[in-house]
Each structure stands twice: as structure tokens, then as C-alpha cells.
Amino acid sequence: MSIEYDAVVVGSGPNGLAAAITLARAGYSVVVYEGNATIGGGARSAELTLPKFLHDVCSAVHPLAAGSPFFNTLPLEKHGLTWIQPEIPLAHPLDDGTTACLYRDIDVTAERLSGDSSAYGRLMKPLARNWENLSTEFLQPMLHWPQHPITLAHFGILALCPATLLAKLIFKGEPARALFAGIAAHSFLPLEAPVSSAFGLVLGLAGHAVGWPIPRGRSQQISNALADYLRALGGKIEVNRPVENLRDLPKSRAILLDVSVWEFVKIAGHEMPSRYRRRLESFRHAPGIFKIDYALSEPIPWKAEACRRAGTIHLGGTIDEIAAAERDVVRGKIPERPFVLVAQQSLFDETRAPHGQQTLWAYCHVPFNCGTDMSDRIESQIERFAPGFRDCIIARHKMSAADLGGSNPNLTGGDINGGAANLMQLIARPVLSPTPYRTPLPGVYLCSASTPPGGGVHGMCGYHAARAVLCEALSAR
């Protein structure tokens, strides 16, 4: 059978599209197969509640996309992607009426963390000055020869610390501690776990370096811009093309799979060496999420004025309260007061909702594959800091952790990170190898969030996998 394409990519999430673009830019013929009717994977949008209310199905706020070393080499603005920067990237209200905020400006952030101004500056400024070098280092496999070893070592020493330990050693006051804890909780790790600080540092630094922006129009615009650029390079995308077996694919020199390790086992497990298959089957899931999208009659009546100017809001109270909630989740318990992440995109993007009305995106962490309805707990946390919130609700759209796999098989059980990001699974993701994207199957590569550097809309898993393909499977053409 003759070769139809140089490469076939399965999955049109940001990593799949990044892989396809990398190969198309190198002059190779590429086709992307997408099982759903729409492209985008975790970067999709839809009218989930009511007509004209545009909601982001999964990812909503995109510091890593704006700071992606790969995305920043692409002319995505010419293909319809425009970033909106909320006045305040992140707000974290507390019960005593104070609000800790992450501003683009480190000095402004530090000044408003009463009692911890100097400590915050000492922690973040040296790292922020090296954002471009650092982002290149940590958005690739951990097993690599660093180009900036001193900078990476400085970051690595801090990043290895548990978030609770680092925050309590460095900061004296609750606002700074809570702010750091909320950012670190994006890791889905217990805050007492090693490397949980890495997520607080990376996302905090990104906030200062590139902001926590939202795409004008919806998160789907990221995927649409990537797809439009790929087509301009000659690449093809076919939707409604689910893949259940590698033999379903056209003949090619390379196959890149933007699927989780568990989906890969379903597709090709019978062809894998048993040892490799067992390793993938033992790869640990991250906890899941319970997500709600709201159509609102008016903006949320936050008690704290800063929350009315913030794109993202973390609701969880003190560092100890957040740590307790995340600890419960990892232990398989339902937290009574969960840590809630909120994005209010329509405050800054008038295209998201009818005039005068609003959308709200919210989720909390839950045990993997949990089917419990967390809406009352989420709404209680919002009401805690915005009394009268429930009176604003016109409609809700709920998705439990157990439901999420129905919309995207890569999100089975509510795991949006492609597997736990603990220390072992950051080093061996999904296997211990200098080229973790390569599989034992000839010409077959993984390029999903189950490979380095892991979850997030940054495209770097796809980019690095495609670079491996260019060095190996396509080098002899």
C-alpha cells in the first residue's frame, strides 16, 4: 500500500494541532483525525446553557498558552486569536475582607501583600527576570541537558518544596500564603506533596510575565487559529473520524496520538510489548473535576471590589482550608468546602453573553470518577464571598467527573491533566526515557498531556513529540 501522508495525527487538541503544525512547517504532508464533530479537545466552546451564552467546555484562562515558547513562534494573531488581559489576573478573597491579588506588576502585587512585600519580591523577581529561559526549560521533559543550569537550579530547589512548607517559610501573613496555595492547588496534588510548589511558581510567574489572559470570543479561538494556520501550511483536518484501532488510519510514515495513555492502551494495547503496556496501565490518574457553567442575569455581587475587576478568582479561604480540601480529594473524600476556581470572562469580553448578562465558569476538584453533584457546595463557596449570587442565576450546565469522559475520552473520570503530576510522573511521563514520546510501536508516538510537560494549553507536548518524529521516523525521507 502506498504512503498517503507523511504523518497522521489523532486528536485535534492544542497538542495534536501543535504536532501537525510542526511537521507541516518542515514540509511534510499531515492529516489530523478528530473523533468529535468540532476540533479543539480541551480548548473548545459551546452554548452550554442558553442561546448566545458562549461557555468554554474545559480550559478557560490561558497563561501557558500566552507564554508558550512554541505558540509564540506562530502567527496566530493573523488567524483570529486576540488575547484579552483582565485588569487583575487573579483575586483571592478572604473572610476578613482582605483580598490577595496577583497583578501583572510584581511590585504592585508585593506592595498590597501587607507584611510580605519584601518576601514576595525576593521570591518572584529573580525568577520573573528569567521567564523566557525558565519556560523553555520546564516546558519539556525533566530529563534533559539544561541550557540555563543555574537559573533552572534556583527554580528547581524552590519547586521541589511542598507548597505549604514553602509558603509558611517565606510568608508571614495569610493573604500571601493563601494566594500562593490557591495557585499551587492547580497541581491537583496535596499541598504537602513535593513539587506542588512548582505549579504555584510557574503559574504565578506566568501571571507577571504574560498575564492570565482569555481569548476574545472564546477558548475555541485558540484551536480555530491553530487549525487555520495548519490548513494554510497545507495540512488537513477531518472531523467525525474516531479511531478505535491503528489499522483504521491511512498509510503513513509516522502516527502521533494526542490521546491519554489509557486511550492508547484501548487503541493499540494488543500490539504493545507487555512490559510497556503494564507501565501505561499503572500510570496514575489525577483527581477529577466537577464543573458548572452559568448563565447570569448580571455580574456577580462580590463583596470585595477587587473581585469585580479580576478575570480569575480562587475561592477557598486560608492556606490551611485549601490544603485540607485538596487532601480530602486525594484521599477519595468529598470536601465540604471545596477549593473553587472561577472565571468571569464575559466581564471583559462582550461577545460571551447577551448585553447586560454574564457567563460564569467554575469548577472544583473531586476524587477521580466521582459522580457526586457538587453544585450546592460550589454555590455556597461563591455565596460566601458574593452574597446574593444565587439570585443572579438564569441557567446552569453541570458536568460531574464521571460525565466528562462522554464529551472527550481523554477526560475520563474528570482527569483534565492526562495523569497525576506527582514527582515520579513528572520524571517518567509516561515512561522513564529521554524520548518519552516514542512508543515501542514503529513510527508511533504519543503527544498528549500524558507526556512532558503535562497538562495545560501550551502545545509543547505536541511540539516535542513532532521534533522527535522529525529526528527519527521522517529523517530518512
Residue 252: its pLDDT value, please? Answer: 96
Q: How would residue 157 be classed by pLDDT, with cut points 50, 70 and 90? A: very high
Res. 477: pLDDT tops 70: no
Q: Which amino acid is at 184?
A: A
Alpha-carbon distance of 134 to 202, in angstroms, equals 9
Residue 78: its pLDDT value, please? Answer: 97
Res. 467: pLDDT tops 80: yes
3-class DSSP state of 106: helix
Give the residue among 431, 418, 312 at the shortest CA–CA distance from 361. Answer: 312
Alpha-carbon distance of 339 to 413, in angstroms, equals 19
Alpha-carbon distance of 413 to 367, in angstroms, equals 9
Alpha-carbon distance of 136 to 463, in angstroms, equals 12
The strand ranges marked E within 258-351 are 288-296, 310-315, 340-343
Q: Structure pTM?
A: 0.96
Q: φ and ψ at 257, to 5 degrees?
A: -110, 110
- The angle, 0 to 180 degrees and rounded to 10, between the axes of the packed helices 174-184 and 196-209 is 100
> What's the whole-number mean pLDDT along residues 295-304?
98
The continuous run of DSSP H or E covering 363 comes out as: strand 358-366
Alpha-carbon distance of 285 to 367, in angstroms, equals 10
Which DSSP string do the residues of 452-477 spell out, in sequence order? TT-SSSS-HHHHHHHHHHHHTTTTT-
List pLDDT tens digits, range 35-69.
999 999 999 999 999 999 999 999 999 999 999 99
List pLDDT tens digits, range 439-455.
999 999 999 999 999 99
3-class DSSP state of 254: strand
Q: Which residue has the higher pLDDT, 410 or 148?
A: 410
Alpha-carbon distance of 187 to 417, in angstroms, equals 9
Residue 273: its pLDDT value, please? Answer: 95
Query: Percent of the chain scored above 70 by pLDDT?
Result: 99
Q: Which amino acid is at 6?
A: D
Residue 1: its pLDDT value, please? Answer: 54
Alpha-carbon distance of 66 to 219, in angstroms, equals 12
Q: φ and ψ at 15, to 5 degrees?
A: -70, -40
Alpha-carbon distance of 462 to 19, in angstroms, equals 4
